[in-house]
Amino acid sequence: MKNILFAASESTPFIKTGGLADVVGSLPKYFPKEYFDVRVVIPKYAAIRQEFKDQMQYITNFYMDLNWRQQYVGIFEMEYEGVKFYFIDNEEHFSGGGIYAGMPWDLEKYAFFSKAVLSILPVVGFHPEIIHCHDWQTGLIPVYLKERFAADEYYRSIKSVMTIHNLKFQGVWNIPTVKSITGLSSYFFTPDKLEKDHDANYLKGGLVYADAITTVSNTYAEEIKTPFYGEGLDGLMNARSNSLRGIVNGLDYEEWNPATDSFLTKNFSVSNFRKEKVKNKTDLQKRLGLAVDPKAMMIGVVSRLTDQKGFDLIAYIMDELCQDSIQLVVLGTGEERYENMFRHFAWKYDQKVSANIYYSNELSHQIYGSCDAFLMPSLFEPCGLSQLMSLRYGTVPIVRETGGLKDTVEPYNEYEGTGTGFSFTNYNAHEMLGAIRYAEQIYYDHKKDWNKIVERGMKADFSWGNSAKQYEEMYTWLAGY
């Protein structure tokens, strides 16, 4: 039996700000219980819903020194869907309405969390062979393991894995402050360790000291070795390339299932989507005030409205795109200029464009379940889940070939009759428009071929089971079995 501990700053269903929480909450369920005991540890935030807090059992508490002062560490636990979760309690660090407070407060909070994760292990009686750390918030765990905890026999055999969900966020602040917070000696603040551009960098520390590094797609693992995608750490990623692998995220196929989704007007599956799926479209057209036309090609966008997601490209060709016989349904919030752009076009072409500048889980399911195509022209995308959801719901993705988008969407090839979507290579608005218009042409003039693309997409398997197998291989290799 291999013991694995996931350490992260968030996890579904308890607390979530992004895709990281989905990974930490879903992946542990998919390991075979007879070979793996996978548990999760996260902070006990005040913002966790009361119904979950009521189910947590208090285990014990102790005091731990974080450099120059003693701090309270409370431990709670509960089981959820067969996985044991530990919650680290400390009112000073984890109170308040949200998760993240910004720098430098978050640096102290997650230094405390990283040290507490290691300190609770003998107390809860769980000795992991591997601690799987997620993003910069847990970057100090591999560092502490090799520093103050290395003197203790109990910790010496524990290995660490660092997973990068998005290299953009690194946990950076000035060295004197971080030294004071963490209690790490000057030895650790050199360019081959935690120091980067004269600052201290939590993620870099984790990447230097972890025994293995993963990121959330094969292509992203290659991209981050280049200056454009490497966010200043490309040199380190190249130096550690033997320890780096890409494993694409999965999708929770129970939550995202068009055959059982209660948010849809009409459920459908790969066997009957040709007849049933369009009923969702006409229903959504009515509700959003678009022209009701079952034959109109409807394109969906569910996203944060930011440059990273490619909205400067969309802004550039939006007027041209609205001349085509398409409808566009947008859901999301973000930069004001993009919010206002979509509002403007929804006013100008009220029968064609629907701008929903807020977030709604229900509407997101309905967009995946109703649209014909889904647009995702990201500048960079470590993994991306929206394209997996759209494939699952028979909504053909139109994507830029980057990161996880390149790994999960196979471009349509009309000569070989293969592919699950449409893609373009360069970050260029007219190249994107060309891909959209090619998709329109197949949709309107070659309906049979279009339906085959939909069918292949719905049959593709991006459930977590697939990813879990690759993690199992890595754990086995790392633990030296």
pLDDT, tens digit (0-9, with 9 covering 90-100), for 20-52: 888 999 999 999 999 999 999 999 999 999 999
Tell me what percent of the residues of the chain surpass a pLDDT of 90: 88
Distances (CA, A) of 371 to 149, 277, 284, 330, 396: 53, 9, 9, 11, 8
Q: What is the pLDDT, as a whole number, of residue 416?
A: 95
With cut-offs at 50, 70 and 90, classify the pLDDT of residue 481: low
Mean pLDDT of the chain: 94
Tell me what pLDDT residue 137 has.
97
Q: Give me the phi and psi of 164, to 5 degrees please.
A: -95, 115
- Does the pLDDT value for residue 57 go beyond 90? yes
Mean pLDDT value across residues 452-471: 93
- Higher-scoring residue by pLDDT: 22, 400: 400
Task: Give the whole-angstrom CA distance, residue 242 versus residue 238.
Answer: 8
Q: Measured on CA atoms in the order 290, 294, 297, 298, is the torsion positive or negative?
A: positive
* Fold of the domain spanning 2-250+465-479: Rossmann fold (3.40.50)
Quote the strand ranges of 1-150, DSSP E: 2-7, 36-43, 57-66, 69-80, 83-89, 130-134
Q: Which residues lie below 8 Å from residue 360, measured CB to CB, with a gap of 6+?
A: 331
In the prediction, which pLDDT does 361 show? 86
Cα distance between residue 205 and residue 224, in whole Å:
17
Q: What is the mean pLDDT of residues 349-377?
A: 94
Q: Please, which pLDDT band fits residue 16 given cuts at 50, 70 and 90?
A: confident
Q: 206 with 196: CB under 8 angstroms? A: no
Indicate the CATH number of 273-461 among 3.40.718.10, 3.40.50.2000, 3.30.540.10, 3.30.70.260.
Answer: 3.40.50.2000
pLDDT band at residue 69 under the 50/70/90 scheme: confident
Virtual torsion, Cα 365, 366, 368, 369, nearest 10 deg: 110
Kindly state the tokens that stand for 388: 């997996």
The pLDDT score that the predictor gives to residue 89 is: 96
Separation between Cα atoms, residue 379 and residue 314, nearest integer Å: 12
| Mean pLDDT, residues 319-339 | 95
What's the DSSP call for residue 350? T
Q: What are the sequence ranges of the domains in the chain?
A: 2-250+465-479, 273-461
**CB 88, CB 74: distance < 8 Å:** yes
Instruction: Return the HEC string of 134-186.
Output: ECHHHCHHHHHHHCHHHHCHHHHCCEEEEEECCCCCCCEEEHHHHHHHHCCCH
Residue in the block written with tokens 């003197």: 151
Question: How many residues would you count in the chain?
Answer: 481
C-alpha angle 453-392-450 in degrees, rounded to nearest 5: 15
Using a pLDDT cut of 70, give the percent of the chain over it: 100
Reported as a single tens digit per residue, the pLDDT across 260-294 is 999 999 999 999 999 999 999 999 999 999 999 99
3-state class of 58 per DSSP? strand
One fold for 2-250+465-479 and 273-461: yes
Q: Is the peptide bond before 13 cis (omega within 30 degrees of 0)?
A: yes
CA-based nearest residue to 258, from 88, 413, 444, 392:
392
Mean pLDDT value of segment 373-402: 95
Task: Supply the pTM of this predicted model.
Answer: 0.88
Task: Give the pLDDT score at 268.
Answer: 96
Average pLDDT over residues 338-349: 96
User: Does pLDDT of 67 surpass 80?
Assistant: no
Answer yes or no: are the C-beta atoms of 106 and 152 closer than 8 Å: no
Q: What is the pLDDT of residues 204-243, one digit of tens each?
A: 999 999 999 999 999 999 999 999 999 999 999 999 999 9
- Is it the case that residue 54 has pLDDT exceeding 90? yes
